Amino acid sequence: MNPAGRSEAGRAPDGGPVAVVDLGSNSVRLVVYDALSRAPVSRFNEKKLCALGRVVAETGRLGSEGSSCAMASLRRFVGIARSMGCGTVDIIATAAVRAAEDGDEFAAMAQAALGEPVTVLSGPEEARLGALGVACGFAAPDGLSGDLGGGSVEFANVPNPEDGARVSLPVGALTLSAAMSADRKAATRMVDTALEAQPWLRDACRGRTFYVVGGSWRALARARMAMLDTPLRAVHGYQLTPREAETLGRSIAGRTPADLAAIPGVPKRRVEMMPAAALLLERVTRLLRPARVVFSATGLREGRLYERLPAAERAVDPLIAGAAELGGATNRLPGVGEAMQRWTDGIVANETPALRRLRHAACLLSDSAWREHPDSRAREAFFRLAQYPFLGMTQAERVLLAFMIFVRYQGRRKDPAVRRLLTMLDEPAKLAGEVVGEALDLGYRLSGGVPAILDACRLRRDGGELLLETGHPAVDPQDDALGGRLRLLGAAIGAERVRAVGV
C-alpha cells in the first residue's frame, strides 16, 4: 500500500531531475535533485564562494569581482543542470541582489545571458521559503526557523510560515564578520539592535523548537561534533539544549579563524564567518528561549521544491517517503516492504508511534543490501543507512533504524565495528531493534522475500509462547534453519517457548 498521494517510487507524478540555483550574498550553489519528491535527494551539489554581497553595505552596489564570479558560476551551473536533463533551472537571488542598487540590472543581465528566469526574493518571501524547507526536512515540526545567509537572517513560523510574522534582518554572516573585525562590541550591539526591533521574537520559541538553517550555522554543529568526538556526524536533526547552543556560540565567537581551521571536519571556507555565526546564534537563542535547538540541512532550496508538491504529497512522512524510494530502487521484489510491515505488526511489545514509524521504514529498507557480499552485508547496511540523508529523523533514530537492518542481516550488538554508535541507544531501544531485525530475518528465511508466501504465514504471541503459523506449501515448519531463526526471535522478545506449525 502506497502512502497517500505518492507514486510507487515515492516521487511526485511528473518525475525527472530538478535544479535549483541559490544566488546568495556569499555563495552561488547549484543542487540537482533526483526528482520533485517529498524526500528529495541531491544528485549533484556544488557551490562557488563569490562574496557577491561583500561591498553592498559600503557602496550600495554589487562589487565587480563578485559579479563576474557569480555570472561565470551561473553559466557553468546552468550548463551542468541542462546536461543532466533538468527541463528548467530555478534561479533564486536573495539578500545581496535584493539590497543592491544595481541588483535588478544584474538579475536582468543574468536572465538574458542564461535563458532562464531569475527570481529576486523579497525578505519575507525568503523567510517563508526557508521555513518551508524546514517543514520539508522534519516530521510534524513545530517552532521557528532561522535561516542565516551571507547578507541577512530570516525568521518565520514552522510549519506554516503564513501564520505570524516573517522577517528578514540585514545581519548576515558576511556583513557581521566585517563588523566584528572592526569592533566586536559594536557588532554585538548591531545584532541586539536588529533583534530588539522585532519585539515579537522575544520568547517566540518558548516550549517549541528553534530550527537552525544555513551553512555557517551548520559549520558550528560540525565543530561541536568534532570537539566532542560524537559517534555520528550527521548534521540534520542534530539537537542542542538552549544552554548548549549559547555556550557553543560564546565559545566559537571567541576563537580566531586559525583556531577553527584546526578543528577536524570544520569546512575551511566557513572559518572566517563562523565567529559571526556563533555570536548571532548565542544572541538569538537567548532571545527566543526555545525548548531545543535543532540543526536543519534543508532550507530555502528544499522549500522551493516543497511548495510545488501537491498537498497530499506534502502530508506524507518524509522518512517513510525516503525509505520507500530507496527500498523501491534496491529491493529484489516489489511489495516486499509493505508485506514485511504486515508480517511484523504486533511483534514489538508496547510499540510507540515513534518506534512504529521506524519499524515501517526498516521494513521498506529490509532488502536493500542484498547485493553486498554476505561477509560484509550487515556492516555495509548499517553504516550506509546511519549516514544516508533521510529526513524526519533524530540522530538516535538514524542509529536505531540502521541497527534494525544490521540485525536483519544477522549482525550482533557485540560487533566492535558498531559498538560505539550503539552507545547512542538506550537498552530498550537496542532490544526493540533486535526484535524487529530478528523478525525481518525470519521473514526473509521463510519467504525468500516473496510477499505472497509471507502473507500466508503469521507470527503470534500467545502468553509466553511465540507461535509461527505457516500456511504456504513452500514453507516447511520443521526446517532447521527456520527453527533457529525462530528461536533467536523468541529470545529477543523474551518468549518462554517457540513453536512452528502448519495451518
SS3 track for 81-140: HHHCCCCCEEEEECHHHHHCCCHHHHHHHHHHHHCCCEEECCHHHHHHHHHHHHHHHCCC
More confident residue, 81 or 255: 81
* Residue 205 grid cell: 520559541
**Do residues 411 and 449 touch, judged by C-beta distance below 8 A?**
no
Task: Give the whole-angstrom CA distance, residue 502 versus residue 78.
Answer: 62
Which residues are 210's β-sheet partners? 144, 293
The rounded mean pLDDT for the chain is 94
Count Cβ atoms within 10 A of the Cβ of residue 193 and give its class: 0-12 exposed, 13-18 middle, 19 or more buried. Answer: exposed
pLDDT in tens, 404-421: 999 999 999 999 999 999
Q: In whole angstroms, give the CA distance from residue 198 to residue 127.
A: 14
Question: Does pLDDT of 5 surpass 60?
Answer: no
Work out whether the CA dihedral 123, 129, 134, 135 comes out positive or negative.
positive
What tens digit of pLDDT does each residue of 211-241 get?
999 999 999 999 999 999 999 999 999 999 9
Query: For the segment 49-93, what is each residue's pLDDT rounded down to a tens digit?
Result: 999 998 998 899 999 999 999 999 999 999 999 999 998 899 999
Least confident of 151-160, 366-375, 461-470: 461-470
What is the average pLDDT across 85-105? Answer: 94
**pLDDT reported for residue 14:** 53
**What is the pLDDT averaged over residues 345-374?**
96
- Residue 330 has what pLDDT? 95
What pLDDT sits at residue 9? 32
- pTM of structure: 0.93
Q: CB-based contacts of 102: which residues, under 8 Å, 6+ apart?
A: 61, 62
* Location of C-alpha cell 540502521: 402
